Structure 1
Amino acid sequence: MLRNFSSGWPTSPQAALYALCVSFFMICLDATVVNVAVPDIRASLGASLNDAVWINSTYALCYAAPLILAGRLGDRFGPKRVFLTGLAGFITASLASALADSASVLIAARAVQGLAAALIAPQTMSLIVHLFPHERRGRALGVWGAVGGAAMAAGPVIGGLLVAWIGWRGIFLVNLPVGVAGWIAAARLLPDWRPGKRHRLDLWGIALSSLGLTALVFGVQSGEAYDWGNVAGPVTIPSILSFGILFLAVFVWWQHRNTFEPLLPLRLFRNRNFSAAATAGGAMGAAMGGLFLPLMIYLQSTLGYSPLATGAATVPMFALSSLCARLAGKRSDTASPRMLAALGFALLIVGIGSLVSLLHPSVSPWALMPSLLVSGIGIGLVSAPLANIATRSLENSLIGAASGVFNTTRQLGGALGSAATGVLLQARIGDTPTTATQAALAFPVAALLLGLACCVAVRPTPVTEPTS
């Protein structure tokens, strides 16, 4: 049972939602905004190509690995407290990134940024579930999903503009005013829910899950950089992946044995709809990670686009995605979220499938636009209904853990999708760029078929307010 210790409810839950979305936009933006700045960062700091890879990868790695723990911390200390702590850490790490005088300092600051973002992300979803009754929750999750889509669209464009106007340090400095404004708004507007009983932290669960997820994400994300072989001394990518899988297996065993207060309550997965939504979220993450890597490479290497032009080419898709996310969230309050998510997956399959058939070295970007726009509609229809399905019938004490797991599956899926398409591109390196890209895009289509199957598996039960 959660108790509200705030001085009162916010003027409007809608105002609290917008306060959450400011910070959510910022952490999503930082996942993509650095890409276009990499050449300038390398020139300024004398960074190697491997350093440049780690400047990006460290954020994603440190974001993904602690999400389950971060969700559970919200259950123990209250989501508002954890959210504000994460946001303060993110602002501080952004300043450190902007002032970095070497690649190693920037990589370390990006790691702290990722850890802070992991504290923020599950709390946004958890607070939305607590703020809004079930009949209005889908609309709020639609706004949340739209913000994520807008951040994906804005990342390359904002990054390109800031690099051109201020230099690469501007992509981190911009977080300072936005982050401070978001912190003040959240401190004033968010209710301070705290647990009605003290929760113990599952220290063994924390250690096992952190080690397992870190090893798994690192292996999947960095495998291509090390040619799926030796990393250092006797340590190889296969051994790191095996280590990660082993520790996660022991983690699951320990969660089963720890009947008092496990880090990850396995009874979450007895809820068929949560399991299906989490798996579909992972499939969606894999599809998105698998789509944009080969597409960005193709637009730049084969069609000769600049990085800024490449980012701009995807803006209409993500703008439409954001609009559709808001509409889908609103509709999921009154219509079946299962059908909306299934329609989104189907449209994504059609959009990416048609994109594959259109690729050739002299293709006009305008010829690709209909496929990209159909894909954008699909992206928008999936995110909010899936989040609604995942949380709508869970008891309040499980919301934080559920948010952590749901976000973890999406991040792991994204890392897997990016790695898988990288492997497929390398495997077809002797082919033409067009055929290699077409082969790589087969992976996101397969992931989307899995997501569609998960939507079919969702049980269409009447909506009831979660119990405490």
Structure 2
Amino acid sequence: MTSQTTVGSTSLSKEPGPAPVPPSGLRGHPWLTLFAVAIGVMMVTLDGTIVAVANPAIQKDLGASLADVQWITNGYLLALAVSLITAGKLGDRFGHRQTFLIGIAGFAVSSAAIGISGSVELVIGFRVAQGLFGALLMPAALGLLRATFPAEKLNMAIGIWGMVIGASTAAGPIVGGLLVEHVSWQSVFFINVPVGVIALVFGLVILVDHRAENAPRSFDVLGVLLLSGAMFSLIWALIKAAEWGWGDSRTALFLALSVLCFGLFALWETRVGEPLIPLGMFRSLPLSAGTVLMVLMAFAFMGGLFFVTFYLQNVHGMSPVDSGLHLLPLTGMMIVGSPLAGAAITKVGPRVPLVAGMVATAVACFGMARLTAGTGTLTMSLWFALLGLGLAPVMVGATEVIVGNAPLELSGVAGGLQQAAMQVGGSLGTAVLGAVMAGTVSDSFGDNWAGAGLPPLTPEQAELAEKGVQVGIAPVPPQAPEPVVRAITGVAHDTFVSGMSTAFTVAGVVAVLAAIVACFTKRGGHAGAGAGAAHI
């Protein structure tokens, strides 16, 4: 017997209907679908890390201010985070193949437009467009995998999908550094054009549109506006908290506005005929646990990793390319571990690998809290490798728990929910751990400075110095004698490492909480054979 949960007029079936007749030839083949999807995903994730390397060159070439450069990243992040769930719903309504192809084409065109832009305002504008098209692409990719692969192969497919994300994330700083150094900052964006063309061609030839029989027929416009307002207010508050301060009235205002919009959104979703997110989805404890787990994992991972790049470049004096190479143990273990995690989850279910993964992540965070200014490459690499090994099953398993426990007709919304949870968790981690770092530096910098026998600073000088120390920069005055340079550098680096240690300790505690949440996950209850099952 098939049991159902009804939300509004949307029926959430707990057993899928009969699988359609599988397509023949290349079109619709599951593994070729994965290949086509992976190319598009690679383009977006590569762009996520490659642009950070280009920001200094963009600032110099276009005469941009620091705030302008921050908007190159923040504009993209806001557009992506605000649009993900709505983009997933568009895929459920109009077809994931169409939204994926539009996302690919739009992302490539936006990248080319950035490359030929002559002002920072145009760069920011087209980065926002990149975020919007990237939001179309990512949930559609998961929706296509969910519809194409049968239950027993979905974990492996998501594992390979995670491997592609890890590989492209690892390649970003290295490829970006080489392109900026030997070609130009524009080439960082132009590289997306040929990749986008290849992804578009493969998508047109291979991808097949899958739509559930009870796919949504209308669109919840008011729900989109309320959810977008809530997500924008939340992400904006997290982005600006470091500048405004957590106790500032502006931060409180946007956080309160976010809570209000989320509340109105939840109320409206119980009344509309075809809601943007049927709240009955969250009656599934595993799906809710998977969403919370993704937020906590991203908090610990992205929030902690934010400081690692400053540690490698400003404390150890590495170039962007060298720092990217030193992070290869982390991303390399994610690349190797993701398909292995997919196989393990298929065999034993997600709960044990997820708990073990978050425990390993917690141990790695506590280990990185012990790093010092003089820690060698081998010790760093061991902790980075353990972190990557812990994250691999979580990326795969939490994604499968969220997407696999959603009905097929809501696979796009589930994919958007998974990506949105990562964006919120990453933004929250960066903001909160940034505040932890700032507080630790503020508390200890003055005492460390005085303890080194350095001359007193005025309040204005101390404030400027603390801001530099928060990212590992030593506030050395011009033409300072060598002993003074060594003393200031030692104080700055020791103070930064102390703040980083506290931040990683907090990240480790969050990872422990995530391990507890992982105990409530289980294999997707809605997984069934997709259209391409006979091809596997």
Q: TM-score, with normalisation over the residues of structure 2? A: 0.82
C-alpha displacement of 1:295: 1.5
Q: Which amino acid aligns with 1:281?
A: M
Pair 1:332–1:106, CA change in 2 (3 A): same
Pair 1:99–1:4, CA change in 2 (3 A): farther
| Deviation string, structure 1 residues 283-324 (Cα, Å, up to 9, x no partner) | 111112211112112222222222221122101210111110
- Equivalent residue for 1:428? 440
- Equivalent residue for 1:158? 175
1:87–1:116 Cα contact (<8 Å) kept: yes
2:155–2:345 Cα contact (<8 Å) kept: yes
Which ranges in structure 2 are unaligned for 5 or more consecutive residues? 1-16, 445-494, 532-536
- Equivalent residue for 1:251? 265
Q: Which amino acid aligns with 1:404?
A: G
Instruction: Note if 1:321 corresponds to 2:339.
Output: no
- Structure 2 matches for 1:304-343, cutoff 5 A? 304-343=317-356
1:395–1:467 Cα contact (<8 Å) kept: no
Pair 1:250–1:466, CA change in 2 (3 A): farther
- Equivalent residue for 1:454? 517
Instruction: Note if 1:148 corresponds to 2:165.
Output: yes
Instruction: Note if 1:67 corresponds to 2:130.
Output: no
Q: Which amino acid aligns with 2:433?
A: T
- Equivalent residue for 1:397? 409
- Equivalent residue for 2:232? 214
Q: Distance in 2 between matches of 1:305 and 1:356?
A: 20
1:55 to 63, 72, 84: 72
C-alpha displacement of 1:416: 0.5
Q: Distance in 2 between matches of 1:238 and 1:171?
A: 37
1:3–1:195 Cα contact (<8 Å) kept: no
Pair 1:463–1:439, CA change in 2 (3 A): same
Off by >6 Å, runs of 4+ in structure 1: 1-9, 460-463
C-alpha displacement of 1:11: 6.3
Q: Distance in 2 between matches of 1:8 and 1:69?
A: 33
C-alpha displacement of 1:347: 0.7
C-alpha displacement of 1:393: 3.7
1:267 to 272, 280, 288: 280
Q: TM-score, with normalisation over the residues of structure 1? A: 0.94
Q: Distance in 2 between matches of 1:291 and 1:147?
A: 22
1:352–1:372 Cα contact (<8 Å) kept: no
1:68–1:401 Cα contact (<8 Å) kept: yes
Pair 1:6–1:133, CA change in 2 (3 A): closer
1:237 to 223, 236, 251: 251
Pair 1:4–1:267, CA change in 2 (3 A): farther
C-alpha displacement of 1:193: 2.1
- Equivalent residue for 1:224? 242
Pair 1:7–1:103, CA change in 2 (3 A): farther
| Deviation string, structure 1 residues 19-61 (Cα, Å, up to 9, x no partner) | 1001101111111111111111110000000111111111111
C-alpha displacement of 1:66: 1.0
Pair 1:152–1:208, CA change in 2 (3 A): same
- Length, aligned pairs only: 462
1:255–1:264 Cα contact (<8 Å) kept: yes
2:42–2:164 Cα contact (<8 Å) kept: yes
| Deviation string, structure 1 residues 235-258 (Cα, Å, up to 9, x no partner) | 823212221221111111111222
Q: Distance in 1 between matches of 2:46 and 2:523?
A: 34
Q: Distance in 2 between matches of 1:10 and 1:131?
A: 11
1:66–1:115 Cα contact (<8 Å) kept: yes
Instruction: Note if 1:367 corresponds to 2:379.
Output: yes
| Deviation string, structure 1 residues 151-187 (Cα, Å, up to 9, x no partner) | 2211111110110121111110000000010011011
Partner SS, residue 262 of structure 1: coil
Q: Which amino acid aligns with 1:342?
A: V
1:288 to 301, 308, 325: 301
Which ranges in structure 1 are unaligned for 5 or more consecutive residues? none
Q: Distance in 2 between matches of 1:4 and 1:32?
A: 41
Q: Distance in 1 between matches of 2:100 and 2:163?
A: 20
Q: Which amino acid aligns with 1:374?
A: L
C-alpha displacement of 1:383: 1.0
Partner SS, residue 218 of structure 2: coil
- Equivalent residue for 2:472? none
> Higher Cα Rg: structure 1 or 2?
2
Q: CA RMSD in A?
A: 2.2
Q: Which amino acid aligns with 1:376?
A: G
Q: Which amino acid aligns with 1:28?
A: T
Q: Distance in 2 between matches of 1:214 and 1:288?
A: 22
1:62–1:114 Cα contact (<8 Å) kept: yes
Pair 1:133–1:173, CA change in 2 (3 A): same
Instruction: Note if 1:44 corresponds to 2:61.
Output: yes
Partner SS, residue 210 of structure 1: helix
Pair 1:255–1:462, CA change in 2 (3 A): closer
- Structure 2 matches for 1:344-383, cutoff 5 A? 344-357=357-370, 359-383=371-395
Q: Which has the higher mean CA deviation after the structures are superposed, 376-385 or 386-395?
A: 386-395
